[in-house]
A = this chain, B = another copy of it.
């Protein structure tokens, strides 16, 4: 039976590898954003599960015919939407190893390598980011791989909440207040609601152009003072390095200076931009990280690792343990009965779930297969592509870069005056009624929205949008493993062509 299983794995495994290699070979021939209509798949698949077995050949054929058309091709070299989910051959192979072994990381004995490799890789990665030693296992902190940022926030919020409620009594939970900016990812609000923070105590502090949409320490202080006066209790601040909309950066040091006066837990969410900070020239964006309580970023965004992979470091793991620990009888064994050692971190007590995959394997394979040098080179090349796109935008007077570019994202739009020119030409004699009702700013936004939609419908590239400070922008996010300069230039041509054809 072992032999039969191994043989069948070999047969199907090779078949899959060839299938996926063909997919990559042809990936730029598919429309980037899926063009199916809602409900397309229901019409194509049976209403109930098959009673008899179907061959992998049949299934792969159906994947090609029915699934691939319904996929938005995140790995396409012409994909520039949201933030990329930068994958790599090493990442996929690492994930394959993890699902091949399919061990369940409950605790140390359930697979020692799963725990110990995670300890090691999190220290490696912490060093690569030049995190202070207090975040590393070698400095009595430590790191854990979660699925996504929302989980990291949920764990740290719970830890912070219980640390405070232990002192002031659980009945005061409704008085707790959490802080972030109006640019913070909505995962923060969601996590705060889950842990029982009253919605009306979740502060999304307004950011402005003057601080490049970063969270100003002064605004936070004013809000905290108001809350304290109202006898509320400041609990947690989520600072973002590289916001979702326009990659704005909250200034860590000034924010910590304020937060520390009130004993507030400070978490840094660097989901996307954290990866860039392995390059010395970008490291300054997380200056001040030595003052915060916890820090997370997602290698599944921009560090060549497949979904999901969110790395969280804390200075004081005991805060997580005291609130997330469980010690059921069925997991007791000789290892758990002894004093916990660094190598015996029970990751089940560092996260929401009790069981988990061998999460560190793919990250380890990626880091080794690239090496720090090449990880940096690729990050730099992605930033280089964004710079190239930025130059192309600025060289065309009809367009403007709307917000400063910090990393590999360019936020751009057709200028208000170019929009007016275009509308005047298109609707001669001033019959552009649909736009008349709008102010100039609204008109510009609506025009850019329509432009983006026409670009995306073409299927040639896929970009998304943001609205910040009332300005609608098209977002060009570079960073896919298969993207080259030629794709960037082609993408720019697509944008220009669609403006011309408007």
Contact = CB atoms under 8 A, between A and B. Distances in A.
A58 B90 CA distance: 13
Nearest to A106: B82
B330 A244 contact: yes
Q: Does more than half of chain A's interface fall in helix, strand or loop, or is it mixed?
A: helix
A149 B124 CA distance: 31
Interface string A8-31: 111011101110111111011000
Interface string A67-102: 111111111010000100101011111011101111
Given A40-B112, A92-B99, A52 B17 contact: no
A181 interface: no
A494 interface: no
B484 A67 contact: no
A47 B112 CA distance: 18
A171 interface: yes
Contact of A74 (B104, B119, B185): B104
A315 interface: no
Contacts of A168: none
Interface in A348-366: 352-357, 361, 365
A328 interface: yes
A131 interface: no
A72 B352 contact: no
A48 B124 contact: yes
Nearest to A200: B170
Give the bracket for the number of chain A residues in contact with chain B: 35 or more
B33 A109 contact: yes
A117 interface: yes
A231 interface: no
Given A25-B3, A113-B41, A170-B174, A16 B328 contact: no
A314 to B, nearest CB: 16
A2 interface: yes
A158 interface: yes
Contact of A96 (B58, B99, B465): B99
B9 A24 contact: yes
Given A244-B328, A372-B51, A195 B198 contact: no
Interface stretch (A186-194, A286-294, A424-432): A186-194
A417 interface: no
B481 A5 contact: yes
A367 to B, nearest CB: 5
B324 A190 contact: yes
A329 B467 contact: yes
A16 B53 contact: no
A140 interface: no
Given A96-B96, A186-B326, A353-B147, A124 B49 contact: yes
A227 interface: no
Interface in A184-213: 185-187, 189-191, 193-196, 198
Interface in A440-487: 453, 464-467, 481-484
B335 A100 contact: no
A397 interface: no
Given A70-B111, A99-B92, A186 B12 contact: no
Interface in A111-149: 111-114, 116-117, 119-120, 123-125, 127-128, 147-149
A400 interface: no
> Which of A41, A150, A353, A355 neighbours the largest number of chain B CB atoms within 10 Å of its CB?
A355
A92 B16 CA distance: 10
7 contacts: A2-B28, A16-B93, A16-B96, A20-B96, A38-B344, A85-B104, A194-B324
Given A1-B484, A308-B353, 14 more contacts: A6-B25, A10-B21, A13-B16, A40-B116, A47-B123, A49-B128, A52-B371, A70-B116, A87-B102, A104-B307, A162-B193, A173-B174, A193-B323, A307-B355
Q: Lowest 4 CB-CB distances: which A-B pairs, in order?
A: A196-B196, A70-B113, A13-B17, A41-B116
